[in-house]
Every structure is written in C-alpha cells, then in structure tokens.
C-alpha cells in the first residue's frame, strides 16, 4: 500500500491565499492615502473594505480546497464520507 504525501499542493495554495488575506492589509504604506476616491470615499477606506470582500472569497476557496483533500484522504483510508452521519447515530 502506498503512503499518501503529507502535504498536498491544495494545502499550499490554501495557505498562500490565507496568508495574503492577512498580510496585505498589514502593509499600511500601500493604502495610507486619500486618492483615488471611489464614490466620495478616500482610498484608505474603500481599500480596506475591498479586502473584507476579497477575504470572503479567499477563505471560501481555501475551505473548498482543504475539504476536498480531506475527503480524498478519508476515501483512500477507507474511512467514508465525513459529511455522512455514522450508521445508527441519532441527530
């Protein structure tokens, strides 16, 4: 029986997405300015709000990647579907 590698590319991609979502807003010098304005809002405000929206998408993509890999790992080990309740389990 072959062993599955511990780190898959999906985990790396998810990690990079999450790291970018956290680190980009920490670089204040990139957005500490008033221009350009969007609907009257200074760049400082709408750039931060843009990262809130982007983080929703990046966290969603990272979640899908990791859950997909977890399902493959469980199937390879014969553990079944993690979303399906165990037989005889009451909800």
**Structural contact between residues 59 and 13, judged by C-beta atoms closer than 8 angstroms:** no
Structure tokens at 8: 């898959």
pLDDT digit string, tens, across residues 23-66: 988 888 887 777 887 788 888 888 888 889 999 999 999 999 88
pLDDT digit string, tens, across residues 78-89: 776 656 655 555
- The angle, 0 to 180 degrees and rounded to 10, between the axes of the packed helices 9-23 and 43-76 is 160
pTM of structure: 0.68
Per-residue confidence (pLDDT) for residue 61, from 0 to 100: 92
């Amino acid at each position: 029986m072959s062993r599955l590698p511990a780190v898959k590319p999906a985990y790396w991609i998810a990690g990079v997405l999450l790291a970018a979502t956290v680190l980009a807003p920490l670089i204040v010098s990139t957005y500490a300015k008033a221009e350009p304005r969007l609907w009257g809002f200074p760049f400082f405000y709408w750039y931060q709000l843009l990262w809130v929206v982007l983080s929703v998408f990046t966290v969603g993509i990272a979640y899908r990647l990791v859950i997909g890999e977890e399902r493959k790992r469980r199937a390879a080990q014969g553990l079944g579907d993690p979303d399906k309740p165990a037989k005889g389990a009451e909800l």
